[in-house]
Amino acid sequence: MTETRKIRFWRLYLAGSLLILLFILSSLKLWTLQIGEEGKKLKEKATKQFYMVISLPAKRGIIYDRENRPLTLNMGNVEVYQHQGLSKRGIVALRRLGLSPVYKKNFNGIKWIGYTSFEFIDSLEHIKRREKGRISYYKYWTRIYTVEEGYSSLIGYIKKEGKKIVGLSGLEKILDPYLRGKDGKLPVIKGALNSTEIFTLEKKKIDPVDGKNVKITVDAYIQEIAYAALKEKVDELSAKGGFVIITNPQNGEILSMVSYPVKHNRNFVLSYPYEPGSTFKIVAYSRALDDHIINPLDSIDTEEGMLVVDDRTIKDVHKMGKITWLEAFSHSSNVAAAKLALKLGRRKMYEQILKLGFGCPTGSFLRGELRPPGNYKDWKDSKLATLGIGYGLLINGLQMAMAYGAIANGGYLYSPKILYYSDPVKIRKALNKRSVKYLKLFMRKVVENGTGKKAHIENVAICGKTGTAMVYDRKLHRYNPERKITSFIGFFPCDSPAYLIYVVIFEPKGTPWLMYGGEVAAPVFKKIALKLLYRRLHENI
């Protein structure tokens, strides 16, 4: 009996030990599956098989013009996918919605079968339930632009980066943080077979947050007339391109900003740096007037229309001899402006360039600002002289418009304003009363009997300035007289301006002695100004 009991005890001991060992091994395996690396991998695999998150796209904010006209809209669309073979009834129902389902008993994978609009979501949901989750659909928003190509360089476009929609260019890009919103999330439990949806986890749903609507200062009517006038002139002269910017000089509001031709959504106003030519002469003249260095009727000897400074020769279009500063400005004498810059000196010219907003921050998020022309202490006399006539530095259209706005409004430099409800930003007092008074006189003479006569409108006091600059040809390593940038900038009425219009045409083709700002850009200014005056007249009737 003793031996038998010992054998039984040993067997029980062995069985117990095996059970304990099995328990320990099972526990280790469970620990590995639940907590260890293998468990993490299996959990990730299971999650991918049975759990997914559907993105709920946010609606992008709408851009409105100053009169509350929508420049963009959003159209709701639905992408539809098939996961398994469908019944004949289901196929017929989907085809009625304009979709292209596939009828296969052994359907494998996931197939895109088309898209439809939001109005059919209830029908899709009904078909989905009846077909036991063999189809799925996802909502998304399509951006619609309600305006013609004249807006494309300003408004811009959007693009898809992965699952996100972001601004690609123009205001869509600049205002993207306001417009884009935040997508929502909807967790879904799905079956292992062909990813068939079983049910959604509504309690864990995160609703999308739509983007903010934005109202801008641009007037759709003014934008259209500016674009039409610009396009007509560029096409007529087979020019490389051009832009028009129209502002309210009293507060810096941008009423219109157009570029033509529309290439790669490029906004020439902001992204095309150029040497401005004679419109830049206000820098030297304004500082000289500020410092009482000149008076309008003082005389300046423009000699034989030629001035040699170091290795540079500065020429006038016509010989004028001894004339007044008023005549020198109205007839755009390069010799007079170069002499004036030399008289002011490096430091004063540099200070005035910055004071008028060239090469320094404008306080606007529109970007495109350009640097001032280097350290003024290193300037040669030839550099100083050419700066006086608008060569030797690069600017953009917005900088020039804001600088002339300071003349129009009595001396204050404003930051460009594009958001309607934002407050105007007055950067600094840029000109004194004496300078403003005389610069307006100079600019009025430009239009009445100077280089800008083609901008003249009967019974309307217009202040303006022409500009013509040769383009530096990198192949020739010199300025090419056959390639010019022509411009005209002006505002009206002179005493209390409501509109400032800046027109720039790049490289017009035609008779060389007619390819000047007064011949090319001034007529475009006049055409736009007449329509603005006509509109204002009818608004006041």
Name the stretches of the chain with pLDDT < 50.
Answer: 194-195, 198
Residue type, 252: G
CA distance 480 to 156: 33
Q: Is 332 helix (H, G, I), strand (E, B) or coil?
A: coil
DSSP state of 475: T
> Long-range pairs for 108-116 at CB < 8 Å and ≥24 separation?
108/194, 109/194, 110/81, 110/82, 110/83, 110/194, 110/195, 111/81, 111/82, 112/79, 112/80, 112/81, 113/80, 113/81, 113/82, 114/79, 114/80, 115/77, 115/78, 115/79, 115/80, 116/77, 116/78, 116/80
Contact 304, 277 (CB under 8 A): no
Domains of the chain (ranges; CATH) run: 52-215 (3.90.1310.10), 220-540 (3.40.710.10)
**E strand or H helix at 466:** strand 463-473
DSSP state of 209: B
**E strand or H helix at 84:** none
Q: Is 433 helix (H, G, I), strand (E, B) or coil?
A: helix
**pTM given for the model:** 0.85
pLDDT attached to residue 90: 84
pLDDT attached to residue 7: 59
Are β-strands 312-315 and 111-117 bridged in parallel, bridged antiparallel, or unpaired?
Answer: unpaired
Query: How far, in Å, are 222, 420, 495, 531 from residue 536 at the CA level?
Result: 12, 20, 17, 9
pLDDT attached to residue 290: 95
CA distance 453 to 522: 8
Cβ neighbour number for residue 509 with a 10 Å cutoff: 14
Best CA proximity match to 418, nearest among 266, 280, 246, 163: 246
CA angle 267–268–269, rounded 5-degree value: 90
DSSP bridge partners of 300: 323
Tokens of 14: 């062995």
CA distance 485 to 466: 11
pLDDT attached to residue 139: 79
Contact 386, 314 (CB under 8 A): yes
State phi, psi for 253 to the nearest 5 degrees: -65, 135
pLDDT attached to residue 194: 46
